Structure 1
Amino acid sequence: MTPAFTAGSVVLDIEGTTGATGFVVAELYPYSRERFGALLAERAAEPEVRRAVRQIRELIGEPEADRARLEDVLCRWLDEDRRVAPLKTLQGIIWSEGFARGDLVSHFFPDVIPALRRWHAAGLRLLSYSSGSVAAQLAWYRSTPDGDLLPLLEGLYDTENAGPKESPDSYRAICADLMAEPDSLLFLSDRRAELDAARAAGWSTLGVRRPGEPYYAEGVGDHPQTASFDTVTIRRTP
């Protein structure tokens, strides 16, 4: 039985928690892979692209890496599911445009959107924290099967504006940004290491274990857990 929580803010992971990892891997990854080359060739002067290119060259230690080499690196990182900032930045640019054109529509488990609406109506602050860039998250929540969900969210965090998801300092940074007490924050994720980091920062945690997701068998350790948002009760902090 999933315990009840008291919180002021609910911070949500995306992959494996609110949407299927398989959708990201099968739909979004190939979409970006096909477009890395054109992005690097045609938009190299844009500030975000230029910054990402500089970061890639620094990470691989090749300051003169050409466009073909950069594309190869991005595709390899994609295959390895690496959570590196320049990859996420460029994916975010590509996905944002794909969602805007209607090429892509985000995926949510059936229990998620009703729960988000219910929690928002109860006065809870809803936020997203993902390894995907803020730009990608904006597009994700704007282009859902139920329309634009961005009005439900008060903030979006990624590994650049908050930090790595397995570091307690990242959760402390989010807490400071929200000007909230740690024990008023509840984090939902399918990954034990992320839940451990949030708890180390003083947050409440809830592991989301959905059959078929990559981290299901690993479990969430001693964190409370659920298979569906339908069973989760969250009371707003007085």
Structure 2
Amino acid sequence: MAIRAILTDIEGTTTDIYFVHKTLFPYAAKHLPDYVRANLQEPAVQQILDDARQEIGQPDADADTLIDAFLGWIEADKKVTALKALQGLIWANGYQQGDFTGHLYHDAITYLQGWHEQGFKLYVFSSGSVKAQKLLFGYSDAGDITGLFSGYFDTTTGHKREQASYEAIADAIALPAAEVLFLSDVEEELDAARAAGMQTTLLARDDEPESSAHPVVSSFDEIEL
């Protein structure tokens, strides 16, 4: 079936995984304690803290306890929705202050722009929050490219290794799953997308796997629609 939409992962797919792990995560960890303490009265931060209290099962946890929990989740690379939302707020400051720009592989931006011009609908599905996704693409190495995308999805839709998440995305964009191509560097995510009926391609930028159930490419240049 012909592809009408492309759903892409970010980390390791459009963006060097080291940008996330060596720039964004350390920046959030460094600034998180001061940011939380300085913004305790902000409604968005209050909601995030309430979500974190629920996550750790301590409805009366104070700010210091929650800060420790957030830092622990960062250290363990946990995909906790409250953490992702808080990181997005902190990264917004960093992007706006020019502390860094969002890394994009040259082949990724070239082909995303080309596919958009050809009429393909482009969507993003990442474990990072929608806010963080829009910041990365809004303050990218290539400038603001958020206009290329028709929608963004994060863990509020579901986990990336679960079939139901991809079924929900297909419903949200009102297309048969078979007309959607999902791009990722993680086999288990692609397995879930394929189980939902999507077409799939594995981005293996550094080390090509010995075998895969999915088409394998080393860059966007090799993707056949």
Report the TM-score when normalising by structure 1: 0.90
Unmatched tracts of structure 1, length 5 or more = none
The residue that corresponds to 1:168 in the other structure is 163
Q: Deviations over 1:92-134 (max 9, x none)?
A: 1111221122112011122111111111111101111100001
Q: 1:24 aligns with which of 20, 23, 26?
A: 20
Cα pair 1:192 1:220 within 8 Å, conserved: no
Q: Is the 8 A contact 1:48 1:89 kept in 2?
A: no
Which residue is equivalent to 1:201?
196
Instruction: Please point out which of 210, 220, 225 is paired with 1:229.
Output: 220
Question: Are the aligned partners of 1:191 and 1:220 in contact in 2 as well (CA < 8 Å)?
Answer: no
Between the aligned partners of 1:187 and 1:48, the Cα distance in structure 2 is: 31
Between the aligned partners of 1:38 and 1:27, the Cα distance in structure 2 is: 18
State the match for 1:56 in structure 2.
Answer: 52
Cα distance change of structure 1 residues 84 and 63 upon mapping to structure 2, 3 Å threshold: same
The size of the alignment, in residue pairs, is 225
Name the SS for the 1:36 alignment partner. helix
Partner Cα separation in structure 2 for residue 78 and residue 22 of structure 1: 15
Structure 2 CA distance for partners of 1:220 and 1:13, relative to 1, 3 Å:
farther
Structure-2 residue corresponding to 1:35: 31
Out of 15-24 and 216-225, give the one that drifted further.
Answer: 216-225
Structure 1, residues 62-114: CA drift from partner, whole Å, max 9, x if none? 22222222111111111111101000000011112211221120111221111
Match of 1:184 in 2: 179
Regions of 4+ moved over 2 Å: 45-48, 216-221
Map of 2:90 onto structure 1: 94
Q: Which runs of 5+ in 2 are unaligned?
A: none
> Structure 1 96/218 Cα, relative in aligned 2: closer, same or farther at 3 Å?
farther
The structure in which a higher percent of residues are helix is 2
Other-structure match for 2:63:
67
Measured on the aligned residues, the alpha-carbon RMSD in Å equals 1.5
TM-score (normalised: structure 2): 0.95
Q: Within the alignment, does 1:128 sit opposite 2:124 as a pair?
A: yes
Specify whether residues 118 and 220 from structure 1 end up closer, same or farther in structure 2 by C-alpha distance, changes over 3 A only. Answer: farther
Q: Could you tell me how far 1:217 is from its partner in structure 2?
A: 7.1
| More displaced 10-residue stretch of structure 1: 36-45 or 124-133 | 36-45
CA apart distance, 1:193:
1.0
Q: Which one-letter code corresponds to 2:12 in the other structure?
A: G
Query: Are 2:105 and 1:114 aligned?
Result: no
SS at 1:166 equivalent: coil
After TM superposition, give the deviation of residue 202 of structure 1 in Å: 0.5
